[in-house]
Amino acid sequence: MDRKRAEEIAAFRYGAIAPIVSRQTPLSPGELRAYLEHAVKQSYVIPGTTRTTLSVRTLERWIAAYRKGGYDALLPKTRSDKGRHRLPDEVIQKAVALRRERPERSVEQIILLLEESGVVAPGTVAQSTLARHLLRAGASRKDLLRSDDRGYRRFEAEDVHVLWQADFKHALYLPDPNHPQRKKKTVLFAILDDYSRLIVHGQFYWDEQLPRLEDSLKKAILRYGIPEQLYVDNGAVFSSQHLRRICGKLGIHLSHSKPYRPAGRGKVERLFRFLDTSFIPEAYEQVEAGHIRTLGELNDAFWAWVEGYYHLRKHGSTGQSPKERAAASNRTPKRVSEAELTDIFLWEEERTADKANCVSLMGNTYEVDPELARRKVMLRYDPFDLTVIQVWSEGKRWPDAKPVDLTRRYDRGLPRR
């Protein structure tokens, strides 16, 4: 299994247990059991398998592994067994009948029933194999338990920095730095604390690409600590494997609103509407008067508004200002050093060193340790600084790669900072 697929599987496993392991306040045994029972009733798109369900035992095993070894403990182990057995038709028919009898039954439960009734010998049916046959027969739990008629309910996180909501907003126009006679649209990325309504970070950029999200998230964490959950929409930037890995490393539960149902992100949407009637019109006047012409000047004006007005203004829903409500909490979020945070945010690419122990990355050529010739390596780097490239192989860090032909000092596929 290559590193990319292993990371996808680890990110999925973390996402399944994140609501539990990302909490600073542990769940009681009863709360934990209730979550697990709810989780096994859901259908999932699981990387590397057609299976769509999880068992309580599987979730418990992942939780134990994460608490013992962190995110890396969720990476799949190499399996020595090979081959796959075809299930007889009578076994498939019996399994389908058991699922239709009680659609909430997991694949694991069905296999146990088949073994207890003597239909199959113990240990001869793989969960992934049976799940694939049930899916083909139209007997997946998702098919049989399809119902999504739940209404919306008002929700608020129980404390400060438990849940952050984040999104991009297309905003006002500024002179294009490359063509001053033209106008160019700016994009605001904002992260809002659900409980206090504090803007933990907000910044205007020229685009809404992944590095902008990373930049703002890193700044928010350095200032306020690590939230338990980050709630975003289903856009490509928010669904990236890189963001999932970052959240897994930091212990953040990354969750997404359902497609076409953004109501769960109502607080950040209301913030954007408030901006449209307060800050944006005032900023436009400053732009027209020539007082705001650059992105830096716009961000300075924005933070003057945030700290001097928005954070001090009494919020209509809470009855307190965001600053007061946040300050009244005794919760202390987890923190990491800036060096550790920078390392976690590094990008990763897998390469195979050639016989001259060289690798290529973003059009540049680098030399790695001679012992790594013809071996797969993981390169970890900041896309805005391609002069420093970490080299990893089989979980061990090797000396950094040495530039041989450095034609690009940053990834030209990305906008400059």
- Is-contact 110 125, C-beta < 8 A? no
Please give the pLDDT value at position 151: 42
d(CA 227, CA 164): 7
Residue 223: closest CA among 253, 199, 204: 199
Please give the pLDDT value at position 128: 84
Mean pLDDT of 177-183: 87
> What's the pLDDT tens digit per position in 213-222?
999 999 999 9
> What's the pLDDT tens digit per position in 257-298?
765 444 456 788 889 999 988 899 989 999 988 999 999 999
* Ramachandran sector of residue 211 (left: φ over 0; alpha: ψ -120 to 50; beta: rest): alpha
Chain centre to alpha carbon of residue 342: 17
Q: Is the pTM of this model over 0.75?
A: no
Whole-number percent of the chain with pLDDT over 70: 91
> Is the pLDDT reported for residue 110 higher than 90?
no
Mean pLDDT of 17-43: 87
> Is the pLDDT reported for residue 153 higher than 50?
no
Helix pair 241-250, 3-21: axis angle to 10 deg: 50
> Is the pLDDT reported for residue 37 higher than 70?
yes
β partners of residue 184: 174
Q: What is the DSSP string of 139-172?
A: --HHHHT------------SSTTSEEEEEEEEEE
> What's the pLDDT tens digit per position in 337-375?
999 999 999 998 999 999 999 999 988 999 999 999 999
Indicate the residue type of 16: A
Please give the pLDDT value at position 78: 56
> Is the pLDDT reported for residue 331 higher than 80?
yes
Please give the pLDDT value at position 309: 94
CATH placement of domain 163-327:
3.30.420.10
> What's the pLDDT tens digit per position in 59-76?
999 999 999 888 888 988
Residue 234: closest CA among 253, 213, 206, 258: 258
